[in-house]
Amino acid sequence: MTTTPVDEAQVRNLVQQSERAWASGRRPEAEDLLRRARTLAPEHPLVLNASGVQQLHWGNLAEARRLIEQAIERDARNPAFWINLGSVLRRLNLPEQEMTALDRALAIEPRHLLALLQKASLLEATNQRRAAALVYFNALQTIPPGSQLPESLRAPIQRARQAVSDNNAALEEFLRSRLDEVHAQHPGEDRSRFQLCEDAFLGKRRIYTCRPTFLHFPKLPALEFYPRTEFPWLARVEAASAEIRAEFERIFSEDSDKLEPYIAYPEGLPLDQWRELNHSRRWSVFYLWRDGKPIQEHLDRCPKTAELIASVPTVDIHGVGPTVFFSILDAKSHIPAHTGVTNTRVIVHVPLVIPPGCRFRVGADTREWRTGEAWVFDDTIEHEAWNDSDAPRAVLIFDVWNPYLSAAERDSVRAMVGGITEYYGPHSPAKEAH
């Protein structure tokens, strides 16, 4: 007597169609498809597992367990079989055996989202809430940003997020007395770095790193906003901010035709987050220096600003820097999150015209501009800006050397980037992405 070979693809297809039909509520169709698969290959592990799940839905727990265990005997490397067995054992109120089944699934696939969610819910059910929160956290880390989750997972994912949030709040309260005691021993000390460490661990803030679009100089501090002590000339610039503002206001009133969109990608390039602002005057600029070249006509219109720029350590790379400009962001406008070309330079903002409701985020640090109060930041860390007001916002922007580069390192960067620019010509990746 001969045995007819099993059509593996046909069996798999019938089981998958049955599962989809069941998930869509078409149960008679699902049962018919599974019946056909069972006729073709009654001992196939996929058929046994699907039959066991069907029995679980019907409440026949003993039969469900028997069928799924038979599937595992034939294929113990399929994590879904172990997860389904765990579901049956949950209904049978056998938590230790359920945990063993889920651990077997995770031994095969440690980042299996369903197994992690089910294990965490089992730990919750057995009053192990802190351990459950850790497993829920691991489950959430497996979900790619922006991914679309099936409807069946939305409630468990929401439960996971709530459990992690509740646990972090409890942990923060638990740690508070210990930390307060330590902080009291060091009065007046700057705790901003440790605070970011604590907040990141508790899920309250993200830690951002440098993401240059062109050149990454390693082992420089990844600071969102740089300490003012590194820029002794900054107070001098702030003291002149009223005169700089007057020069800007004359430009804005008399030379508005010379303002141009900051984002101006040519056709055929991917726009990504810049689609809305590309070639838009909602974010416009008036250049004083551009890609290392002075625009003398514009500098002559702003003599005080030009004098100050000449006195600070701006980036000086032929064909690349400095870049100096007035930046105007229209009312009700948003500059989306982005990163700059290199961390060998840092960016100075001198706020000139700041209506209420203007915010700026660098990494995890969000601040409001204040007229005449300058800051220096690393633009290779993700940053974005908002003008929620009903009037334009204006800032003077220029780039200076990163203060943590030595003179020899500046010379090396100057030679390297200048050489890259000469090599590629107008297509140099060293130039700003606009």
Query: Is residue 433 one of the residues assigned to a domain?
Result: no
Phi, psi of 328 (to 5 degrees): -115, 120
pTM of the model: 0.80
- Looking at the fold, whether 136 and 250 belong to one and the same domain comes out as no
Residue holding tokens 């693809």? 9
Cβ(363)–Cβ(206) under 8 Å? yes
DSSP letters, 314-347, are B--BTTTB--EEEEEE-TTEEEEEE--SBTTEEE
Q: What is the pLDDT of residue 424?
A: 87
Query: Is residue 129 one of the residues assigned to a domain?
Result: yes
Cβ(342)–Cβ(380) under 8 Å? yes
pLDDT tens, 82-103?
999 999 999 999 999 999 999 9
- Looking at the fold, whether 158 and 236 belong to one and the same domain comes out as no
Count of domains forming the chain? 2
Query: Is residue 213 one of the residues assigned to a domain?
Result: no
Q: What is the pLDDT of residue 94?
A: 97
**How many Cβ atoms are within 10 Å of 157's Cβ, its own excluded?**
16
CATH number at residue 32: 1.25.40.10
CA distance 124 to 131: 8
Query: Is residue 14 one of the residues assigned to a domain?
Result: yes
Segments of 161-304 assigned E as strands: 260-261, 283-290, 293-294
Residues 6 or more apart whose CB falls under 8 angstroms from that of 87 comprise 56, 118
- Looking at the fold, whether 150 and 281 belong to one and the same domain comes out as no
CATH number at residue 366: 2.60.120.330
Query: Is residue 184 one of the residues assigned to a domain?
Result: no
CA distance 113 to 138: 9
Q: What is the pLDDT of residue 14?
A: 92
- Looking at the fold, whether 368 and 241 belong to one and the same domain comes out as yes
Query: Is residue 286 one of the residues assigned to a domain?
Result: yes
The DSSP secondary-structure symbol of 290 reads: E
At CA 257, angle to CA 253 and CA 258, rounded to 5? 100
- Looking at the fold, whether 96 and 245 belong to one and the same domain comes out as no
Cβ(208)–Cβ(379) under 8 Å? no
CA distance 120 to 140: 11
- How far from 318 is each of 61, 213, 297, 341, CA to CA, in Å? 76, 19, 20, 16
Identify the domain containing residue 292 by its residue range.
Answer: 228-427
- Looking at the fold, whether 120 and 265 belong to one and the same domain comes out as no
Q: What is the pLDDT of residue 3?
A: 44
Query: Is residue 401 one of the residues assigned to a domain?
Result: yes
CA 45: distance to chain centroid?
41
Residue ranges for the chain with pLDDT beneath 70: 1-6, 432-434
Q: What is the pLDDT of residue 12?
A: 92
- Looking at the fold, whether 251 and 149 belong to one and the same domain comes out as no
- Looking at the fold, whether 233 and 140 belong to one and the same domain comes out as no
Q: What is the pLDDT of residue 5?
A: 63
